[in-house]
Structure 1
Amino acid sequence: MRLILLGPPGAGKGTQAQRLVARYGIAQLSTGDMLREAVRNETPIGLKAKAVMDAGQLVSDEIVIGIISDRIDEADCAKGFILDGFPRTVAQAEALDAILGEKGLKLDAVIEFKVDQDKLVDRILQRARETAARGEPVRKDDDPEIFKTRLAAFNRDTAVVSPYYADRGLLVAVDGMKPIDEVSSAISDILETV
C-alpha cells in the first residue's frame, strides 16, 4: 500500500501516519522527519537544509526528491509506505510520479486532511506546550510566527497538489478537525475500498 497524506502543517498527518504504520506494517516517510534527522546527523543535505528549515521555508525540490527516491528503495518500504509532507508542489508530484514509474510502482490513494486553518495555530501552541511539559525540546517550526510562515507557504504552493491528484482519481478527503479516533476510522474506511 502506497499512500500520500496531504494537508497543512498541524492537520494531524503525522499522528495518523503513525497509526497506519502500526496497523499495516508499512513505512512512514515524513520528509520533515527525514530532513530533521539529516540536520541532527549534520549530513551535507542536513546542513544545507538547516538554515532554510529554521526560517520556516521549504527546502529545494532537488534535496527532497533525492531523499524520497533513496528512501523508497530501502527494505522497510517493500510492503508500502506513507508519504507525509511530500509532495508539496505540483513539480514534486510530477517528480514522484516519474520516480514511482521508474521503480514500477504506483500510488493507491491520496488522503487530504481538511481543516479549519484559523484553529491550527491553537493546535500548534497546544502541541508545543505538551512537548515542553514532557521535557522534550519544542520544534522550531512550532513557534507561532514560523508556523504562520509555513501555513502561508502551504496555501501558496501545496494547496494546488490536491487538484493534481483529484484529476487522477486518487484524492479522498477526511475531516482533520474531528477527534483523532474518528479521523483514523474515516481513513480505515477509505483504505478498505482501495
Structure 2
Amino acid sequence: MNLLIMGLPGAGKGTQAAKIVEEFGIIHISTGDMFRSAIANQTKMGILAKSYMDKGELVPDEVTNGIVKERLAQADVSEKGFLLDGYPRTIEQANALDDILTDLNMVLDGVINIDVDPSLLLERLSGRIIHKETGETFHKVFNPPAAGYDENDYYQREDDKPETVKRRLDINIEQGAPIIEHYRQKDLVYDIAGNNEIDLVFKDIVEVVSSL
C-alpha cells in the first residue's frame, strides 16, 4: 500500500498519519525525516543537500527529489509500502514523483486529503495565547483561561497572529491546489472531512484505505 497524505496546516495531518502507520504497518516517510536520515547516513544526495544547507541556501528540487528516490528504494519501503507526508510540495515535485515511482516500479494507490474549511483552521491556529508571567499556553476558543481574564496579561507569538496564519494558509492553498488537481485527474484523491473528532476522521480514513 503506497499512499500520500495531504492537508492544510492545522488539519490534523500529523495525528492521522501516525494512526495510519500504526493501523496498517506501512512506513511513514516525512520530508524532515528523509533529510535528517540522508545527511546522517552520508548518502550521495544527503551530502549534496548538506552542502546547500551549510551555505544557508534552499535545497534545489533535483536534490530533494533524489533524496525521496533514495528513501523509496530502500528495502523496508518495498516490503511494507509507504505513507509519504510533506512531499510533493509543488506541481514540479508531483511530476518528479510520478517519474520516481515509474523508475522504481511502484504504484501510488491513493491520496488521502484531509479537508478542513480554512476559516476554521484560521480560528484553530490563531487562537493560542501565552501568559506573560508564567509562560502557560492557552487557546482563546478551545482552552481559554479563567472566565473574565484580562487580555493584557497575555501575548501572541508572531507565528500565531491571525494575519500571519492567514498568509501561511493562503500560500499552502495556492501551492496545494494544482497538486490535488494533478492527482484528481488520476482518480487517486480521497477527500476526508477533517472537521470531525479525531477518531471519526480516522474511521473514515480506515474505510478508504481498507477499500484500496
Q: For 1:104-143, what aligned pairs fall within 5 Å after superposition? A: 104-124=105-125, 143=159
**Hey, which of these two has a bigger chunk of helix by percent?**
1
**CA drift at 1:127:** 8.3
Structure 1 window deviating more from structure 2 (15-24 vs 146-155): it is 146-155
Q: In the aligned structure 2, how far is the partner of 1:65 from the partner of 1:189?
A: 31
1:3-40 Cα offsets, whole Å, 9 max, x none, are 011121221111111111111111111114434x37x9
Contact 1:121–1:144 (CA<8 Å) still a contact in 2?
A: no
Q: 1:8 to 1:47 in 2, by over 3 A?
A: farther
- For 1:17, the aligned partner's letter is A
Q: 1:62 to 1:150 in 2, by over 3 A?
A: farther
Contact 1:3–1:83 (CA<8 Å) still a contact in 2?
A: yes
Q: In the aligned structure 1, how far is the partner of 2:9 from the partner of 2:57?
A: 16
Q: In the aligned structure 2, how far is the partner of 1:128 from the partner of 1:61?
A: 36
Q: In the aligned structure 2, how far is the partner of 1:32 from the partner of 1:187?
A: 24
Give unmatched runs, 5+ long, in structure 1. 54-58, 135-141
| 2:197 is the counterpart of 1:179 | yes
Give unmatched runs, 5+ long, in structure 2. 41-45, 138-157
* SS state at 2:68 partner: helix
* SS state at 2:113 partner: strand
**CA drift at 1:133:** 6.8
**% of aligned pairs identical?**
37
TM-score, scaled to structure 2: 0.71
Structure 1 window deviating more from structure 2 (63-72 vs 176-185): it is 63-72
Q: Which residue of 2 aligns with 1:139?
A: none
Question: How many positions carry a matched residue from both structures?
Answer: 179
1:45 corresponds to which of 29, 46, 49: 49
Contact 2:91–2:179 (CA<8 Å) still a contact in 1?
A: yes
Name the structure, 1 or 2, with higher relative contact order (CA <8 Å, separation 6+). 1
Q: Which residue of 2 aligns with 1:77?
A: 77
Contact 1:6–1:110 (CA<8 Å) still a contact in 2?
A: yes
Q: For 1:22-101, what aligned pairs fall within 5 Å after superposition? A: 22-35=22-35, 37=36, 45-46=49-50, 48-49=52-53, 60-78=60-78, 79-101=80-102
Q: In the aligned structure 1, how far is the partner of 2:8 from the partner of 2:181?
A: 15
**CA drift at 1:169:** 0.9
